[in-house]
Each structure stands twice: as structure tokens, then as C-alpha cells.
């Protein structure tokens, strides 16, 4: 298993544009989480999806949205890009969300630069 | 609101010396605490979690609820320990659906 995969590796967008980032979880993992990591900071939680439903959301504006597909892959969409959206976007998968603190397996990230 | 604080942005120690990476948290309930590590050009990965009470690569961490701390320790540092270390917290309730709250990270450099 290649682990969690993300695409694209990096991309450059202009302010006001829209972007879609993609994530494929580890085979058998049904939960996907998205994080934003700004340079010099730790990852910040954006969303968690499980069985195609949003199960948790961090403190991000409505410009950020996501969805999960029947094969458990996921997309993160960001509308009306701002310069401050420039960051590394990380995807993490777990077998399922649970209070039993399943380990989150992280992907390599997508580096988004907004100019 | 939950918060994780790692007071040291950078920590440099010599090989063979003891290492302690500090982590303090604020959370009103019973959190679950983790240490994640990112080696150069690798992805973020779990190092250890407090509920397992395990030692990974010689590292240990004890949850001190009185001091709200979860410091990471290793008695003898090795050069391969050089990496970025993140302390993280999960509320443990709601099915973990609130994700992990990370600290800003500590860059550990082990000098030969």
C-alpha cells in the first residue's frame, strides 16, 4: 500500500480563483481528515469525513468545503482564494473516527501558493 | 477551547545528551495526547500516544494532568532523532470528530 496519496503535489493559483485538492486514503480506511499547515505553524484541523458525511469541522470560513466519495477518497475545495490560503494542505486517514484514538496516517501534502 | 503549547521553536543538543521537548495543553475534559514526528523529506507520522504508555525509539512521554503537560523525553539523543516534533491533542469525545489540535512544533537538532 502506498499509504495516503494526495494530488497535486503543488500548484499555484491567483487570488479569487478556486482550487480542488484530492486525497486517497489507505485501503480499508473509511475516515479522512483535512488539515492546513501554514509555514512555521502546526497543522490546523479543517474537516473530518466518515462514510461520506461531515463529522467534524474546524474554525474555517465557508469558502472551504469538502466531500467524500463512495470509494472513501476525498476532495477539498477552496473558493475565492486569498493570499492567506497559501499553505501545505494535509490529508490524513484512519479506519474510522472513534474515541479510541486511532492513529492518523498523513499524506505528503499539497503545497498551495496563492499569488 | 483546546490549545497545545510547545515553548521551544528550536532545541539543539549534543549526541548522547538527554533530550526533553516540552508540551503543555489546555483542555477542560480528559484529552488524549500524542507526539507526531516529521523527519526530513518524510511525511508526518505518529511517534507515541499517552494511552499506550509505550517507549518508541527510546522516547517516552508521561501525561501530567496536574501540570497539564506531556513532555517528550529521551535519555541519550542520537543523530537520527533530528526532526520536527509536534505535540497534539484530541478531545477524545464526539468520536474524535474535532480532529487533532497541534502545537507549533519544535525543531530538534542533534549535533555530533
**Residues of chain A that touch chain B, judged by Cβ-Cβ distance less than 8 Å:** 3-4, 33, 35, 40-46, 48, 50, 55-56, 58, 90, 94, 97-99, 101-109
Instruction: Give the pLDDT mean for A81-105.
Output: 84
The three cell numbers of residue A56 are 467534524
Q: What is the mean pLDDT of chain A?
A: 92
* Contact predicate B107/B92, CB 8 Å: no
**pLDDT tens digits, residue range B22-35?**
999 998 888 889 99
Strands A110-114 and A10-13, by their bridges, are parallel
Q: Is B31 on the interface with A (CB under 8 A)?
A: no
Cβ-defined contact of B99 to A3 (cutoff 8 Å) = no
The pLDDT tens digits for B49-102 are 887 778 889 999 989 989 999 999 999 999 999 999 999 998 765 445 668 999
Supply the DSSP symbol for B94: G
Counting residues of chain A whose pLDDT is more than 70, the rounded percentage is 94
Amino acid at each position: 500500500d502506498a499509504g495516503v496519496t494526495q494530488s497535486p503535489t503543488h500548484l499555484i493559483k491567483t487570488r479569487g480563483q478556486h482550487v480542488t485538492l484530492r486525497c486517497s486514503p489507505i485501503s480499508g480506511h473509511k475516515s479522512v481528515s483535512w488539515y492546513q499547515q501554514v509555514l512555521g505553524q502546526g497543522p490546523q484541523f479543517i474537516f473530518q469525513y466518515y462514510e461520506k458525511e461531515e463529522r467534524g469541522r474546524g474554525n474555517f470560513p465557508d469558502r472551504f468545503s469538502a466531500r467524500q466519495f463512495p470509494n472513501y477518497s476525498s476532495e477539498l475545495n477552496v473558493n475565492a482564494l486569498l493570499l492567506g490560503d497559501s499553505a501545505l494542505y494535509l490529508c490524513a486517514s484512519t479506519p474510522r473516527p472513534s474515541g479510541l484514538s486511532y492513529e492518523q496516517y498523513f499524506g505528503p501534502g499539497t503545497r498551495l501558493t496563492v499569488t | 477551547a483546546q490549545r497545545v503549547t510547545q515553548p521551544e521553536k528550536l532545541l539543539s543538543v549534543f549526541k548522547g545528551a538527554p533530550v526533553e521537548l516540552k508540551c503543555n495543553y489546555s483542555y477542560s475534559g480528559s484529552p488524549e495526547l500524542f507526539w507526531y514526528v516529521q523527519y526530513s523529506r518524510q511525511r508526518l507520522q505518529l511517534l507515541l500516544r499517552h494511552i499506550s504508555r509505550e517507549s518508541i525509539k527510546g522516547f517516552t512521554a508521561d501525561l501530567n494532568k496536574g501540570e497539564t503537560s506531556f513532555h517528550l523525553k529521551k535519555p541519550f539523543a542520537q543523530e537520527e532523532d533530528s526532526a520536527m516534533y509536534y505535540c497534539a491533542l484530541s478531545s477524545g469525545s464526539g468520536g474524535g470528530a474535532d480532529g487533532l489540535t497541534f502545537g507549533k512544533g519544535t525543531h530538534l537538532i542533534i549535533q555530533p
